Structure 1
């Protein structure tokens, strides 16, 4: 039964995305019948923005991962300091914020009239920080993706068996040896997946590039696709640009998948993790400094949004019926899409684990494993605006497309969250299967009893984290709602965007604060089962 659901999930994802692409392709064929557009698709402008897309995505990925590794290592070493759980929750908050809200917070800190330039002016530096252009895009991408990489790396480091640290302490291994033999193999196994995810997120970035790019010189393929569909309604150009984007990102994913080392799981008896390294004063100060810099970098734009929101008329917004409807709509869409995303990911990953468990998996198992990797990343290869436009064309003959908008938006949000959910659940499910699979099979524990007694206790934390990730991502989505929404279906991000468009900036600041508060509540729920580990004696 699990295998059937796993195959059905892959087929359903392929059909949903394929139908949208087919609809746009047919529209492009009809429009270009008898017209030669070959010279109008891949011109010098397209190649220039393709080059800029790769440069900014590559630099953003390198900076995000390079910053995230020492932060994750420091948090993994300091398992019991006061406030650790709140810093981990803080690292999840940027994921749930709409890009437009985060961009405003970043401008408030790094902009020409921002806090950083004001501080530099005190030492007679005339506002040297310029936020618009490539520098602003890099700062924004690191703000979003460094915390995500920290959470994913920290999840892997926390799964290192406690016996490893006990043996390393008995052997007297140095900090460098601990990193080389214990921590780095875990990081290396996660690095390609995290880097690929961040690269695709940066390559398909739209709102941040549009807000902080500063003009056509800093434009990406995603922006060009949006312009081709929204302003020019040129499906041939949009399809060609999408194909170019898919080819580039797919090639990178194949290279990263080829470079990914096989994952090996260590056996553990469940001994509590007690680390004996990093106890010198220099190591403690270094870890505190790294964590403090990361926390300040993430918290500063959020504080800017907080202060702006507190200056707004919050009681007026709290009494606004339109705000109430937007909150209910956003929470309903987020709850359904998050549940579907986690369910799909769990079913597909469990099926993949079952098929790949034999010593020599068959050809179908390898094909399914590759399909899972491709299907969970498909939404990052195919822009959501392309999927939304394709389904708009498919549903237009049936009448008012707004009737189908909620279902389409939920499915798009479900697929958007799959890459994040998969990165959290895949290593957790692999580790859980390696530690409990043979024992539960030998004891004959199957079905509902296995879920309640074995799977849920072992996978509770990653499942809750995945739900919070997916729900926060859905709450912050603007693209699908902006394309398919209507006056009868308004979400909180869309209402925020509308208030900003009508120059009601005070209301927009209050709505941004409200949205951030809801996302923070979700991150707290996602880590509600975590407990501060016992302090090592």
Structure 2
């Protein structure tokens, strides 16, 4: 039954994406197109796409490793839970809002340049071009990588730390023999996810690229559909994007080591390697740098938003309608995304549960696992444009807009939800599957007594991630937005377009606060018990 349901979900995803692509190709039938599909400009932006995505991924991971270690080692300092919540905020923040906050800090008239100019330097930092894109991508993806690594480190059995302390292992030895094997197993998935996010980045590149010299394939796809309406070129560019990033994901999949799962008695984790003065100092430095990188743009957004007439803004009927629409779409899409991800993860595991699975089960399991990542390679503008063409013969497209936006948001959140749930479900299955089978516990009773207590925390985290992503989405809504369907990001975009900057800043602040509420709910279970006491 589970495998059949997983196959049905996989078929639904492929059908949803395939129909959108087919609609665009059908629209272009009989059209000569706008010229050659690939030219010197396309190859130049392809090189730039790969360069900026590779550098962004490398910088985000190099920064995330010491931050994740610091959070794992320093488990009880005051304010730790708020640092975790701060690191979760960029994921759900609309890219346009984040870009405005980054410009306030790193822009030509931003805080950093004002400080450096006071020191006698003239315009030493530029937020536009490759440097600005890298800063923005690290702002968004370093916290994501750090949280995923932290979740993996926290799943290391408590017995490992007790043994390392008994052997007198230092900080480097602990990292090499205990933490690094876990991080190394997570790196291919994390690196692949971040690379795809950076390679398909659209709003940040459009805002901070500074011109054609810093353009990406995603921007070229948008231009082909929005300005030239050249579907063959858009489809060809999408195929190029899928081929490039898909090849990288395949390489990462092949070199990824098998996950290491250790047996544990379930005792509370107590680490001994972060107690020295030097370790505490190093951890504090990395955490301070992370808080500055992530926190300053939010502070800039809060400062600009506080100048708006928030009382009038939140009293407007347009705001009430936008808030209700955003909350409804986010709730439904997050529920669908988490349910599909959990179903597909379990389906993949059951397909490989045989002692020697054949070629067909391995192919099916591989397709299930890859589908959650490859969905990121399909630009939302392609999905939205395809379904707009499909639904146009049935009358007013606005009637179908909420359902299409919910589906697109659920699919776009699927890779993030999968990255959160897959390691947690694998660890949970390794530790409970044999015992549950030996006791004959299955079905609803296993879900209630075993699975829910063990997976409640990652489920809440994944659900909050998915809701925050949907709440801040503008790509799908931009195509279907109308007077009857206005979300908070769409309302913010329209206020910016009409030069009502004060209202836009206030709406950006409201969106940031809503994302903060979601991260608080999602991280409610991340408070770790006092060391040495059992849970």
1:209 and 2:205 are equivalent in the alignment: yes
Tell me the equivalent position of 1:23.
23
> What's the offset of the Cα at 1:374?
2.0
Deviates more, 1:146-155 or 1:368-377: 368-377
Q: Distance in 1 between matches of 2:312 and 2:478?
A: 25
Aligned residue runs from structure 1 range 308-387, under 5 A:
308-387=304-383
* Distance (Å, rounded) in 2 between the aligned partners of 1:529 and 1:290: 24
Distance (whole Å) between structure 2 residues aligned to residue 482 and residue 379 of structure 1: 19
Contact 1:275–1:536 (CA<8 Å) still a contact in 2?
Answer: no
Alignment of 1:22-101 (within 5 A): 22-32=22-32, 40-101=36-97
The gaps in structure 1 that reach 5 residues or longer are none
Name the structure 1 match of 2:13. Answer: 13
State the distance in 1 between where 2:181 and 2:432 align.
22
Distance apart, 1:536 and its partner CA: 5.0
Task: Work out the CA distance in 1 between the residues paired with 2:23 and 2:462.
Answer: 32
Taking the aligned partners of 1:59 and 1:531, their CA distance within structure 2 comes to 34
Secondary structure, aligned partner of 2:346: helix
Counterpart residue number, 1:179: 175
Partner of 1:446: 442
Q: In the TM superposition, what is the alpha-carbon distance from 1:171 to its structure 2 partner? A: 1.2
CA shift for structure 1 position 28: 2.2
Partner of 2:472: 476
1:393-431 per-residue CA deviation (whole Å, 9 max, x = no partner) reads 111111111111110100000000000000000000000
1:335 deviation in Å? Answer: 0.2
Tell me how far apart the structure 2 counterparts of residues 519 and 364 of structure 1 sit (CA, whole Å): 42
Shift of 1:31: 1.7
The answer (yes or no) to whether the contact 1:57–1:202 under 8 Å persists in 2 is: yes
Please give the alpha-carbon distance, in whole angstroms, between the structure 1 residues aligned to 2:529 and 2:494.
45
Looking at structure 1, the residues matched to 360 and 94 of structure 2 have their Cα atoms a distance apart, in angstroms, of 40
Are the aligned partners of 2:89 and 2:515 in contact in 1 as well (CA < 8 Å)?
Answer: yes
2:299 and 2:350 map into 1 onto residues whose CA distance is 46
Paired position in structure 2 for 1:280: 276
- What is the CA distance between 1:283 and its match in structure 2? 1.0
> Cα offset for 1:530?
2.5
The 3 A distance-change label for structure 1 pair 455 and 338 is: same
| Aligned residue runs from structure 1 range 362-511, under 5 A | 362-511=358-507
- 1:107 aligns with 103
The whole-number CA distance in structure 2 between the counterparts of 1:479 and 1:294 is 28
Distance 2:272 2:168 in 1: 10
Distance in 1 of aligned mates of 2:179 and 2:365: 26
Matching of residue 151 in structure 1 with residue 147 in structure 2 = yes
TM-score, length-scaled by structure 1 = 0.98
- Contact kept, 8 Å, 1:85 with 1:532, in 2: the verdict is no
Q: Is the contact made by 2:348 and 2:369 (CA closer than 8 Å) also made in structure 1?
A: no
In structure 1, distance between residues paired with 2:11 and 2:314: 44
Tell me how far 1:127 sits from its aligned partner: 2.0
Contact 1:132–1:212 (CA under 8 A) maintained in structure 2? yes
1-structure distance, mates of 2:243, 2:360: 25
Alignment of 1:181-196 (within 5 A): 181-196=177-192
- In the TM superposition, 1:230-241 aligns within 5 A as 230-241=226-237
1:3 equivalent to 2:8? Answer no
Residue 104 of structure 2 is aligned to residue 128 of structure 1: no
2-side partners of 1:484 and 1:364: how far apart?
Answer: 40
Q: CA offset at residue 5 of structure 1?
A: 1.1
SS in 2 for 1:377: helix
**Shift in Å, 1:358:** 2.7
8 A contact 1:481–1:491 mirrored in 2:
yes
Give the Cα separation in 2 of the matches to 1:343 and 1:235. 33
Greater displacement, 508-517 / 389-398: 389-398
Mapped to 2, the partners of 1:272 and 1:189 lie a distance apart of 23
- What residue ranges of structure 2 are gaps of 5+ in the alignment? none
Using structure 2 for the length normalisation, give the TM-score. 0.98
Counterpart in 2 of 1:119? 115
Q: Secondary structure at the match of 1:30?
A: coil
CA distance in 2, matches of 1:361, 1:264: 20
Measured against aligned partners, the alpha-carbon deviations of 1:254-292 in whole angstroms (never above 9, x if no partner) come to 011011111121000101101011221111111001001
Partner of 2:161: 165
1:265 matches 2:261: yes
Contact 2:333 2:470 in 1 (8 A): yes
- Report the RMSD for the aligned CA atoms in angstroms: 1.1
SS of the residue corresponding to residue 96 of structure 2 reads: helix
Bigger mean CA offset, 351-360 vs 307-316: 351-360
Residue by residue, what CA displacement relative to the aligned partner does 1:478-511 show, whole Å, maximum 9, x if unpaired?
0000012211100000000000000000000000
Contact 2:133 / 2:205 at 8 angstroms: preserved in 1?
Answer: yes
Aligned length: 533
Q: What is the rounded CA distance, in whole Å, between the counterparts of 2:526 and 2:110 in structure 1?
A: 36
CA contact (8 A) 2:269 2:531 kept: no
Quote the Cα distance in structure 1 between the aligned partners of 2:216 and 2:148: 27
Contact 2:268 2:532 in 1 (8 A): no
Residues 246 and 382 of structure 1 are in contact (CA less than 8 Å); yes or no, is this contact kept in structure 2?
yes
Secondary structure of the corresponding residue to residue 527 of structure 2: coil
Does structure 1 conserve the Cα–Cα contact (< 8 Å) formed by 2:132 and 2:209?
A: yes
